[in-house]
Amino acid sequence: MSHNHLIIKPASEAQTHEAQIRNGTYWGVPAGVSVNEYLKLHPILQQGVFARDGRLEYWVLVPKEDPESTNFYASCQVLARDILTLHPGETSPVSSYGHVISFVIVPPEYRGKGYAQCLMSLLHSALAPHRYPSPLKAPTVTRHRSTVSVLYSAVGDYYARCAPMVGESGWTRQTSWRTTWPLSSIQIPPKKATSLPVELLSESDVAATLDSDDSNTPAGLLELQKKNPKKTFFAFTPTSPLNTYFLTLSKLTPSGSSNTSWGARIPGSSDFMTWVIFNQPTLKVIITRLRATVASFPVLLNAALRVAQDTKCEGIEIGNIPEHLKEVAQATGGVTTEWDDHLPAFKWYGEQPEVAGADAVWAMEERYSWC
């Protein structure tokens, strides 16, 4: 089937509303959120700090002769975020923009006809016109030129086939790990659970803690560079705005709406843990950011356990737990496995031509960009 008559463009207000209805039907309803409840979420998200300056928008695949049609073939949500990139031989990272892609939806009547692949292949030109200019197929481009775009694939390596041009690949998977604790198997020795004082964090406390922690990102990239000096490392920052995005989504769940604690910290130290509550596919506490020592980790995990119990969650989950905490995670009942769903993948657009996607590493990837 020919797609020559199709273009990609930012969604109009009416197209955005239609995309929200489709998202609510596909994602919200299975999670116990009605379409009407889901639609109420969009204005809240648009008012969030993460959406300012046009950073949160939808893109749609439409006929070029009817670009305002609400009967579009496919859509996705794109969030522009700041990133820090550290190249080999450099001593400090540089700041630019990256993009987080989520909610790729094709309505049932259009599935199986290549529209998702067409949308995603053209999206490269919209996000990175400096690398893949296509004024006829992507006449409007993002206002924040992209260094890298990321997504989490629920369909395996499908997005690798969504390439910007012949001879290139689309989004390349990056190996990712999850550590899970079913509530029935968590084993935290009482002495270790209470060996340090701990404070639970409100929503505003979490934002302040994450804002303060952002100053550690450059040093974290430099530490990674020491271990692999030939790689280019990038990390999304600041962390607080997107954490707020997922915290807002978390409040849609019955358990999340009644929860008041969204993290914990060790007073007098830089150690902390933040979390949200998601129902994918079972209700669990998802750790969104972690900074801990071997001594403080059981204390913070115990705080998350109490919240999981109070909110009737079935378990706790951490993505890509730091190497120095793997042993204590196992000792407390955590099981680490390679991620087999919602696989992280990225497409590198950086301006240094010698850096290919295989030479770049998505650092500090802790499931912030869920889709």
Q: What is the pLDDT along the chain (371 residues), one digit of tens a residue?
A: 689 999 999 999 999 999 999 999 988 787 777 899 888 877 877 777 677 778 889 999 999 999 999 999 999 999 999 999 999 999 999 999 999 999 999 999 999 999 999 999 999 999 999 999 999 999 999 999 999 999 998 888 999 999 999 999 999 998 889 999 999 999 999 999 899 999 999 999 999 999 999 999 999 999 999 999 999 999 998 888 778 878 887 887 777 778 889 999 999 999 999 999 987 778 899 999 999 999 999 999 999 999 999 999 999 999 999 999 999 999 999 999 998 888 899 999 986 655 556 689 999 887 554 43
User: What pLDDT does residue 34 have?
Assistant: 86
Strand partners, 252: none
d(CA 272, CA 77) in angstroms, rounded, equals: 30
CB neighbours of 227 closer than 8 A, spacing ≥ 6?
none
Q: Of 77, 76, 74, 152, which is closest to residue 113 (Cα–Cα)?
A: 74
CATH 3.40.50.510 holds for 6-174+342-362: no
- Distance between CA atoms of 61 and 123, rounded to whole angstroms? 10
The pTM of the whole model exceeds 0.85: yes
Sequence spans of domains, the chain: 6-174+342-362, 177-338
The per-residue pLDDT for 370 is: 45
177-338 has the same fold as 6-174+342-362? yes
The pLDDT of residue 72: 98
Assigned CATH topology for domain 177-338: Aminopeptidase (3.40.630)
Helix (H, G, I), strand (E, B) or coil at 240: helix
Instruction: Give the count of beta carbons closer than 10 Å to the beta carbon of residue 361.
Output: 18
Q: Are 120 and 155 in contact (CB under 8 A)?
A: no
Q: How many CB atoms lie within 10 A of CB 268?
A: 8
115 Cβ neighbours under 8 A, 6+ residues apart: 3, 6, 61, 73, 74, 106
Question: d(Cα 111, Cα 65) in Å, to the nearest integer?
Answer: 21
Find how far residue 284's CA is from the centre of its chain. 17
Distance CA(129)–CA(173), nearest Å, equals 23
Q: What is the pLDDT of residue 323?
A: 92
